[in-house]
Amino acid sequence: MVTDLRTEIKQRKPFGSVEQEAQLNLERTAAVLGHSFAEALKRFGVTPTQYNALRILRGAGKDGLCRNEVRDRMISQVPDVTRLLDRLEDAGFVERERLTTDRRQVATRITQKGLDLLGQLDEPVAAMHKRALGHMSQEQLKALTELLTIARQGA
């Protein structure tokens, strides 16, 4: 059964504006989907933020990326990417190396252990996406994606 946000959060008064209702719908949806995603990753011992960083580094290939490049590609802003990468390095999922051309730059690369973890996660994550959004048609998903892209332009 589909319920509107007011019913879902048991709010009796109308929202202050359509913009407020849309914003709160976005936040509620992100929270619900994010919680489901975090729960799916929990048994693998990684957080959604760590998973995101590992996927970024997998996509970067053998050259890896510097800390700021990882930060700029993250889905959610992270206050301390260095600590995030420290934790992934401590777990053996990434390795870092100072570049010889510029000692201030440190390349971060995903390790085989990190690649193996992502390989284990690829199918369960795809299934989770299907469970979360598979009830929507391809046209609806494309429209949603376009609307969300437009919404971010106003931020």
**Using one digit for the tens of pLDDT, what is the confidence trace for 9-44?**
888 898 899 999 999 999 999 999 999 999 999 999
User: What does the pLDDT read at residue 1?
Assistant: 56
Q: Identify the CA nearest to 130 among candidates 119, 117, 118, 141.
A: 141
For the chain, state the CA radius of gyration: 19
Determine the residue type at 102: D
* pLDDT in the model for residue 3: 67
CA separation for the pair 148, 26 (Å, rounded): 9
pLDDT score at 103: 65
pLDDT for 12 equals 87
CA 18/CA 14 separation, integer angstroms: 10
Q: Which residues contact 1 (CB under 8 A, 6 or more apart)?
A: none
Domains delineated in the chain? 17-129 (1.10.10.10)
How far is residue 119 from each of residues 58, 98, 136, measured CA to CA in Å?
A: 10, 27, 27
pTM here is 0.88
Q: Which of 30, 34, 77 is nearest to 53 (CA)?
A: 77
Q: Cβ contacts of residue 82 below 8 Å, gap of 6+? A: 67
Residues (pLDDT < 70) of the chain are 1-3, 102-103
pLDDT at 5: 85
pLDDT recorded at residue 57: 97
DSSP alpha helix (H) spans, the chain: 5-8, 18-42, 48-60, 67-73, 81-90, 112-133, 138-153
Give the pLDDT of residue 98: 84
